[in-house]
Amino acid sequence: MVTRTVDLRSDTVTKPTEAMRAAMATAEVDDDVLGYDPTVFRLETEMAKIMGKEAALFVPSGTMGNLISVLTHCDVRGSEVILGDNCHIFIYENGGISTIGGVHPRTVKNNSDGTMDLDLIEAAIRDPRGEIVYPTTRLICLENTHANSGGKCLSAEYTDQVGELAKKHDLKLHIDGARIFNSSVALGVPVDRLVRAADSVSVCLSKGIGAPIGSIIVGSKSFIAKARRLRKTLGGGMRQVGVIAAAALVALQENVGKLESDHKKARLLAGKYYHTNFNYFRIK
Ligand SMILES: *Cc1c(COP(=O)(O)O)cnc(C)c1O
């Protein structure tokens, strides 16, 4: 009998495939801090196109992608961001938006499907003509899929409604789309449609789609130009990083199409072995 071990700690523990390692070994590279790495350029161009945004920036992690995005939108002291009380940025990112960025988080209750009620979001927006004691609301953050709600997907319609609310109050909308491809496949909605209302999106390449390292943020050209400067400030500018981007390009080509079968298997396992107190951070 052949025994196979399937490691289900997280979708982050995948190893690079043969094709990824081959692509890494032969990747064309140059200094990406100076903006010359052709493989990173290809990855950023491809991701901007897939996400339906003007430009993209490769970053070392999802945490840095969210941090850079929030700080780029909230570049004035006294800025406040509205986000879910059960979202990744608020719970699992060391409070970086506050400790590093000086951005004040205003939480709104997350429902069990990962949404926040529109009227609660609107009630949390500060009146810009209000008392001088209030911080200034500048940004709303959503998370799709919503990790702490068991990977629930936010619909395009809901995202559009939050986007309209943001526009009405002259705010920006950021989506933590660590697993946005999973959402797109599960909902059967193209990924660019899902994030149409967003001013920026952070996408993990090293989660569901199985690249070894990295995330991408997408947005307008001017947003990405500011984000690039901030990435350098945070120490996230990397030199011949095409070695990593090459694996991510393979992940995009090979693995997005496999998510549907991933979801089928996950549902099967969830039905059999579902238990709620599993916490992968405890595994040492
Ligand atoms: C994993 C994750 C991140 C952060 O990504 P890292 O690459 O681990 O820093 C952000 N948001 C969500 C929803 C995540 O699941």
Read off the pLDDT of each residue in 212-225 and give the average, rounded to a whole number. Answer: 98
Residue 146 in contact with ligand 1 by CB distance below 6 A: no
In-domain check, residue 262: no
Percent of the chain topping pLDDT 90 = 87
In-domain check, residue 106: yes
Please check the confidence at residue 284 and state whether its pLDDT lies above 60. Answer: no
Please check the confidence at residue 281 and state whether its pLDDT lies above 70. Answer: no
- Using the atom order of ligand 1, give the atom closest to the CA of residue 207: 1
Domain containing residue 226: CATH number: 3.40.640.10
Residue 143 in contact with ligand 1 by CB distance below 6 A: yes
DSSP string, 88-140: HHHHSSTTHHHHTT-PEEEEEPPPTTS---HHHHHHHSPPTTS-TTSPEEEEE
Please check the confidence at residue 65 and state whether its pLDDT lies above 80. Answer: yes
Distance 160 CA to ligand 1 centre (A): 23
In-domain check, residue 68: yes
Largest CA distance in the chain: 72
In-domain check, residue 203: yes
Name the residue range of residue 98's domain. 18-256
Percent of the chain topping pLDDT 70 = 95
Distance 221 CA to ligand 1 centre (A): 24
Q: Do residues 131 and 99 make contact, with C-beta atoms less than 8 angstroms apart?
A: no
Give 34's contacts (C-beta < 8 A, 6+ positions apart): none
pLDDT in tens, 5-53: 888 888 999 999 999 999 999 999 999 999 999 999 999 999 999 999 9
In-domain check, residue 218: yes
pLDDT of res. 270? 80
Residue 147 in contact with ligand 1 by CB distance below 6 A: yes
What is the C-alpha to C-alpha distance for residues 144 and 100, in angstroms, rounded to an integer?
A: 24
**Distances in whole angstroms, Cα of residue 7 to Cα of each of 10, 11, 12, 14, 254:** 8, 9, 10, 8, 20
Distance 178 CA to ligand 1 centre (A): 6
Inter-helix orientation angle 38-51/242-255, to 10°: 40
The overall average pLDDT reported for the chain is 94
pLDDT of res. 181? 98
Please check the confidence at residue 279 and state whether its pLDDT lies above 70. Answer: no
Residue 68 in contact with ligand 1 by CB distance below 6 A: no
In-domain check, residue 281: no
pLDDT of res. 278? 52
- Using the atom order of ligand 1, give the atom closest to the CA of residue 87: 13
Q: Domain tally for the chain?
A: 1
In-domain check, residue 269: no
pLDDT in tens, 117-137: 999 999 999 998 888 899 999
In-domain check, residue 268: no
Question: Who wins on pLDDT, 166 or 4?
Answer: 166
